[in-house]
Amino acid sequence: MNPKSTLSIAGHPIHPMLIPFPVAAFVGTLVVDIVYARSGDPAWAVATNWMLGAGLVMAALAAVAGLTDFLGDSRIRDLRAAWLHMIGNVVLVLIEAVNLWRRLAEGGDFIVPTGLVLSLIATALLLFNGWKGWEMVYRHRVGVSEDPANPTR
């Protein structure tokens, strides 16, 4: 049997349902940072704060679902990819939390170049973390139903 997702709805794992939101928000932060760096318009500096805040809230929800799955099946904890995925995501959230904190404290002056560099690092880390998440699903079959015709089994 494949390692099961502990937190699911009708056999569908919740963690993969949530992760597109922080990914989009964190990549969107990088895009908005680039727009701000090119335009200097302070409205874009405010937009990055909202993007980071939304990304962190959704990352927290995805983290709860992911941690529940991680702790719920020892076969998942036995996977090196699961540990790398989890540690990478913790580092990502810490980077983005510092990124938001410094932006709120220093305003738009922090964005170029430091905030922009942190957003670039975070986006690169998202690629690594996504690769490890892909590996868990497609190589180790974590959360994949044994019977595709009946996902509740």
Contact 28, 51 (CB under 8 A): yes
Look at residue 11 in the predicted model and tell me its pLDDT. Answer: 82
Which has the closest alpha carbon to 26: 80, 88, 84? 88
Q: What does the pLDDT profile of the chain (153 residues) look like in tens digits?
A: 889 889 999 888 999 999 999 999 999 999 999 999 999 999 999 999 999 999 999 999 999 999 999 999 999 999 999 999 999 999 999 999 999 999 999 999 999 999 999 999 999 999 999 999 999 999 998 988 776 666 554
- Residue pointed to by tokens 């690769």: 131
Beta bridge partners of residue 13, listed in sequence order: 8
Cα separation, 133 vs 131, whole angstroms: 5
Cα separation, 66 vs 64, whole angstroms: 6
